[in-house]
Amino acid sequence: MKPKENKVDASDDQTLIDAELEVKQTPEPVVDSPDEVQAARERMAVEFKRQADLEEVCNGDKSVLAQAISEGWTKEKTELHMYRSQQPKGLSFVKGEKPTVGREMLEAAVAMSCGIPEKEMDEKHLQMASEEFGYRGIGLQELLLECARQNGYRGRFGGNVRGVLKAAFSTRDISTILDNTMNKQSTIAFNAVESAWRDIAAIRSVNDFKTNTDLALTGDFEFKEVAGDGEIKHGDIGEESYTYDVDTYAKMVAITRQDIINDNIGVLNQLSGKIGRGAALALNKLFWTTFMDNSTFFASGNSNYIENYPLSVSNLESLEQTFMNQTDPDGDPLGVDPSILLVPNALYRTALGIMESTTVLYGGTTKTPAKNTFDGNFKVVKSSYLSNSSYTGYSALAHYLLASPQDLPVIFLAFLNGKQNPTVEQSDVDFNQLGIQIRGYQDFGAALGEYRAGCKSKGEA
């Protein structure tokens, strides 16, 4: 019996050949490089973060969320859209006028118009304001009209200054906007004026206008050995003390009807800046009048005054020794070192040279160390008031060594509730006037403190 033959169909062979050729012709899959993969992941992370931010801003409004995601809105643009959609409904507006916007956005727009640095503003509302009004901010008329609309005003600005003002000031928004903006600008201007008082005064916060008292460096507080019976002796507070109180200083100005009609929002910046500067000048005047009228405070009888010693390395040594040789009321060494060299403008560079030079050159044949031992020893503080002829005790040569006010205060400066910059407020003016009334005020007071906390050199040869 013959074995069964296995027959192969030629067509099957061709199928196998075609399949093999198809496999060989299929391209190898493309594999991204590690850098490309990481870049894709970062793009996905950014998009996921954007969508998460949008979801938070939309607060459950899925239709807005879907539109924001599909159209590629930023978080800021979505916030602006939500902000506008949440404004009060039902007010009537003249055709062609836009609806009102929020207080925070208006405040940011005013701040931009007044040139207030961006760091002083809220970043979110700054972005929203710039999209709404442009980076030049908002005009004075537009600001008043926006606030008037929020209280139902239906007209344009026109010449109806009184009507717009009445409507605008019937809501607290306009007051808050103007107060916040002007106080920021006032503080900037206040801090731009010389403030050497911050370095040499002990700052006190008081709660009222009553006379306040600090204890002087007197009395018996030296520790005593405790006897066998364990009794601790009471300290004697003494009778000497320092007293000071605060008074109110203020000024009032106005934004006129002409400023409003001229749309001069820059007047906000100018007036609030002048108020801030005016407050700083009043504070300095009181402070330096108090400090420089010191003929009996710095005196030979108090062992804190020397004459005929112009500012130099060797003469500064004499002034330092005078300071350190002082004693407390019980005759013990004072135990406090000077830390501040206070000088007028004419001696400022000389003082810096002494404090910042690393070596001192001497003539002659005497061998002396070349190291400047005063290098960085005292903080140099200068004031233009010390040599101003309008003040009693002025001098272009007199200079002072002072203790740190935290250790021993030579002068006190007190502020009501600790507020060290002026307050600016505004309101609609009285009926017989047209405009916006602005006032600034500040409460402060100054008084000399411990005479042992400083030494004065007359500075004349």
Reported as a single tens digit per residue, the pLDDT across 34-73 is: 777 787 888 888 888 888 888 887 878 888 888 888 888 8
Split at pLDDT 50, 70, 90, the class of 261 is: confident
Mean pLDDT of 231-240: 63
- Reply yes or no on whether the pLDDT at 4 is more than 60: no
Mean pLDDT of 166-178: 74
Check the CA dihedral 355-356-359-360 and report its sign. negative
Reading phi first (left if > 0) and then psi (alpha if -120 to 50, else beta), residue 364 is in left
Q: Percentage of the chain surpassing pLDDT 90? A: 36
Residues facing residue 247 across a β-bridge = 444
Range in 3-12, 62-71, 212-221, 228-237 with the lowest mean pLDDT: 3-12
The contacts of residue 416 (CB under 8 Å, 6+ apart) are 205, 206, 207, 208, 209, 246, 443, 444
Q: Percentage of the chain surpassing pLDDT 70? A: 79
The model's pLDDT over 59-114, given as tens digits with 9 standing for 90+, comes to 788 888 888 888 888 887 887 677 566 544 433 333 344 444 677 888 888 888 87
Split at pLDDT 50, 70, 90, the class of 428 is: low
Answer for the pair 266, 181: CB distance below 8 angstroms, yes or no.
no
- Helix (H) or strand (E) holding 456, with range, is strand 454-457
Mean pLDDT of 438-453: 94
- Reply yes or no on whether the pLDDT at 395 is more than 90: yes
Split at pLDDT 50, 70, 90, the class of 200 is: very high
Split at pLDDT 50, 70, 90, the class of 171 is: low
Range in 34-38, 314-318, 379-383 with the lowest mean pLDDT: 34-38
Amino acid at 18: D
For the chain, helix (H) and strand (E) counts, in that order, are: 14, 12
Mean pLDDT of 425-452: 82
- Reply yes or no on whether the pLDDT at 165 is more than 70: yes
Split at pLDDT 50, 70, 90, the class of 190 is: very high
Q: Rounded CA gap, 431 and 420, in Å?
A: 34
Q: Where are the domains of the chain?
A: 50-185, 187-215+239-461
Mean pLDDT of 435-459: 93
Reading phi first (left if > 0) and then psi (alpha if -120 to 50, else beta), residue 185 is in alpha
pTM above 0.75, yes or no: no
DSSP states of 200-211: HSEEEEESSSS-
Answer for the pair 444, 286: CB distance below 8 angstroms, yes or no.
yes
Angle, helices 123-133/103-113, rounded to nearest 10 degrees: 80
Range in 64-78, 189-203, 231-245, 268-282 with the lowest mean pLDDT: 231-245
| DSSP type of residue 340 | E
Q: What is the structure's pLDDT at 89?
A: 41
Q: What is the structure's pLDDT at 317?
A: 92
The model's pLDDT over 291-309, given as tens digits with 9 standing for 90+, comes to 999 999 999 999 999 998 9
Q: What is the structure's pLDDT at 20?
A: 57
Among the four given CATH numbers 3.10.129.10, 3.20.20.80, 3.90.1310.10, 3.90.1690.10, the one describing domain 187-215+239-461: 3.90.1690.10
Q: What is the structure's pLDDT at 87?
A: 47
Q: What is the structure's pLDDT at 169?
A: 74
Q: What is the structure's pLDDT at 91?
A: 34
Q: What is the structure's pLDDT at 214?
A: 83
